[in-house]
Every structure is written in structure tokens, then in C-alpha cells.
């Protein structure tokens, strides 16, 4: 079997990265694996294993990702007799996969890692509306669809036979997290906080951190000395820092940046908070649960399965959920 993968994850170009290591394991069941990555001209072709070749599209603009990937994919499919295609999503990479499948009759798998059935996802941006329309086409053309949760499977089953859908959650070593010793104690690091709420997230619009800050303001007015520790980086960081000052809670909110190991954070906080508009799975929810943390979350990903206190999408409802614990 020879696999063609269409992806957007540029971390695969980083030698020794977790993404690259996963691909090496994944490639063991194939004779050849050829991976096309949507990218700009700063990336170059490389190999990450004896049977894995990685090709950047080297596009001059994001507008050309699909066209460049399609041109490259057709060339590889023809020259290497590709038998299987997997696309990272049912959107842009999925469309490339479908168009190559139609011409070369390879078997197509679509991967779905986000909650594409959520109205919050579908209406979040104009681009998401377009992606939703694309997915309704690509899902019907797939031979197999891999999702990360039952929630996503129920939505996808509207467009493809349920027997073709596989639930494959993100692999997390729950036992390792549960047994890992605590090397950082948030209570000792921030002794001036009477209670500590923890968030761990990319600081992007869909994570809804601004609503969490508004909720924290309500909680802080009722519980003197409570603190909020936010672990993560993203494009919204400066705006969120400004909002913290506007709300007058700058002495109670800590932005820690990103950390690779969060088990100690989970184990030494009082409440772990998720305020996302949508999640496909929610790896931090599983990690927090495995660490014994109490969780407050909007109804996203696997929050219900993790026993979280489910709250609505408003500062008042999030605050009430936190106060209930």
C-alpha cells in the first residue's frame, strides 16, 4: 500500500518533533508515505524516515494552497501509484483529497479533529461557513472518516454511512499522568492566591477566553484573593492582557505562557476551566480529569464524559459553575 497524506501541520518539518515521530509510527503499515504540507516558500522537501517523503507546497499565498497541493498530489499519485489518501480535515485538504481520488481511484480517508457540527464552529467566521459547505461535499465522497468523538460521529452520519465512520480519540497516557509526581505547586508559586482557577489553551478567539475573564471578574468580587492562571500562547494574548487591565483584575490574573507538562498544574489548582465555543475532543479535559482536577466547562468536546460541571455561554453562567465548586 502506498499512502498520500494532505496536511497543514508544519511541525512535521521539525526534526524529532512529536508530529514527526507519530508519522514514523503511522508509516510502518505502508510501503511508501508521501506527505504534502500546505506551506509558504520557506520550507523545503525532506524525508523523516526510510519510507516517508515530505513535500511543502511552497505557495506564494494561502490562496494557492489548494491549487499547488492538487498539482503536486496528482504528480505523486501518478508516478508512485498511490493506493490510499488521507486528508487532515474535510475542508481544504479534504477537497484536494477528493479531487485526486476522483482521478486516480485511490481510497480516501478524511480526518476530523474539530466539532464541525457545532453552530458555533459553522458561524464563527465567514471562512468556517465556506468550510462547512465544502465538508458536506467531501464527506459524501469519502470511503472512510476518522473522528475523535461520538459527538462528531453523530453529525458526520448525516452525510456518510455510519459503518464508514471510526471514532479514534487522541492518544493520551492517562495512567502516566495520574501517577506523575508533582514538581510544581501552584499554591506555593502563588501563595497570595486563596484559590486558583487554571486555564490551559491556545489564546485564540474560538477558545472564548474573554468570556472567561468576564466570569472571573464576577467570581473575584465574591471570593477575595482568588487567582486565575492562564497557560498558553496565541494571537489574542495582547488583547486579553488589555481586557484584564480594563476589568481591574490584573493583580489576580497570571499569563504563564505555554508549558509542555501541565500535570502538576492540574493537580495543584482548585478548578480547571474551559470556556471554548467548540472543541473536537478536548485533550486538556482528559488530562485534567486524569490528574484529579475538578472541571468547569462549556458543553464542548468530551466535557460531559469527563464529569465536568457544564455551563452555558455567558459570564454569569460560567461564574455560577465556578462558584458551585
Q: Report which DSSP code applies to 171.
A: P
pLDDT tens digit sequence for 142-166: 999 999 988 899 999 999 999 999 9
Predicted pLDDT at 249: 96
Cβ atoms within 10 Å of 272's Cβ, excluding its own? 26
Cβ–Cβ under 8 Å, residues 302 and 278: no
Predicted pLDDT at 164: 96
Please give the class, per CATH, of domain 175-324: alpha beta
Cβ atoms within 10 Å of 238's Cβ, excluding its own? 9
pTM of the model: 0.81
Residue 235: half-sphere exposure toward Cβ, Cα within 13 Å: 3
Predicted pLDDT at 259: 79
Predicted pLDDT at 129: 96
Angle at 198 between CA 184 and CA 259, to 5 degrees: 55
Please give the class, per CATH, of domain 2-168: alpha beta
CA 146 to chain centre: 15
Cβ–Cβ under 8 Å, residues 244 and 214: no
Quote the CA–CA distance of 24 and 47 in Å, as a whole number. Answer: 10
Predicted pLDDT at 22: 80
Backbone phi, then psi, for 167, in 5-degree steps?
-90, 120
Backbone phi, then psi, for 79, in 5-degree steps?
-70, -35
Residues in the chain: 325
Predicted pLDDT at 172: 63
Rg (CA), the chain: 22
Secondary structure of residue 254 in the 3-state scheme: strand
Greatest CA separation found in the chain? 67
Backbone phi, then psi, for 254, in 5-degree steps?
-115, 125
Q: Grid coordinates representing 268?
A: 495543584
Q: Where in the chain is the domain with CATH 3.40.50.2000?
A: 2-168, 175-324
- The pLDDT averaged over each successive group of 10 residues in the chain (325 residues) is 93 79 82 94 88 93 95 95 96 97 94 94 94 97 94 94 90 64 86 96 94 97 95 94 96 90 90 95 90 94 92 97 94
Amino acid at each position: 500500500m502506498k499512502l498520500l497524506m494532505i496536511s497543514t501541520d508544519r511541525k512535521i518539518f521539525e526534526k524529532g518533533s512529536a508530529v514527526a515521530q507519530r508519522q514514523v509510527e503511522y508509516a510502518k503499515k505502508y510501503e511508501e508515505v508521501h506527505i504534502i504540507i500546505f506551506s509558504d516558500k520557506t520550507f523545503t522537501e525532506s524525508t523523516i524516515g526510510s519510507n516517508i517523503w515530505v513535500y511543502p507546497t511552497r505557495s506564494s499565498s494561502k490562496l494557492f494552497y489548494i491549487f499547488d497541493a492538487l498539482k503536486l498530489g496528482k504528480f505523486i499519485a501518478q508516478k508512485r501509484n498511490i493506493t490510499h489518501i488521507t486528508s487532515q480535515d474535510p475542508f481544504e485538504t479534504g477537497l484536494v483529497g477528493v479531487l485526486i481520488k476522483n482521478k486516480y481511484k485511490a481510497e480516501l480517508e478524511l480526518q476530523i479533529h474539530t466539532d464541525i457540527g457545532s453552530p458555533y464552529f459553522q458561524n464563527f467566521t465567514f471562512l468556517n461557513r465556506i468550510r462547512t459547505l465544502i465538508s458536506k461535499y467531501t464527506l459524501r465522497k469519502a470511503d472512510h472518516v476518522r473522528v475523535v468523538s461520538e459527538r462528531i460521529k453523530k453529525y458526520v452520519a448525516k452525510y456518510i454511512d455510519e459503518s464508514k465512520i471510526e471514532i479514534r480519540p487522541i492518544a493520551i497516557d492517562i495512567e502516566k499522568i495520574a501517577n506523575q509526581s508533582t514538581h510544581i505547586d501552584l499554591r506555593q508559586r502563588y501563595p497570595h492566591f486563596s484559590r486558583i482557577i487554571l486555564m490551559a489553551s491556545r489564546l485564540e478567539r474560538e477558545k472564548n477566553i474573554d468570556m472567561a475573564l468576564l466570569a472571573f471578574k464576577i467570581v473575584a468580587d465574591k471570593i477575595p484573593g482568588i487567582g486565575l492562571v492562564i497557560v498558553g500562547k496565541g494571537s489574542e494574548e495582547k488583547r486579553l492582557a488589555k481586557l484584564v487591565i480594563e476589568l481591574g483584575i490584573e493583580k489576580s490574573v497570571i499569563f504563564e505562557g505555554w508549558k509542555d507538562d501541565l500535570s502538576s498544574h492540574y493537580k495543584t489548582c482548585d478548578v480547571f476551566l474551559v470556556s471554548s465555543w467548540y472543541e473536537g475532543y478536548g485533550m486538556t479535559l482528559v488530562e485534567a480529569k486524569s490528574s484529579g482536577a475538578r472541571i468547569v466547562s462549556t458543553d464542548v468536546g468530551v466535557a460531559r464524559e469527563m464529569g465536568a460541571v457544564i455551563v452555558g455561554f455567558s459570564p454569569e453562567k460560567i461564574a455560577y459553575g465556578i462558584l458551585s465548586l
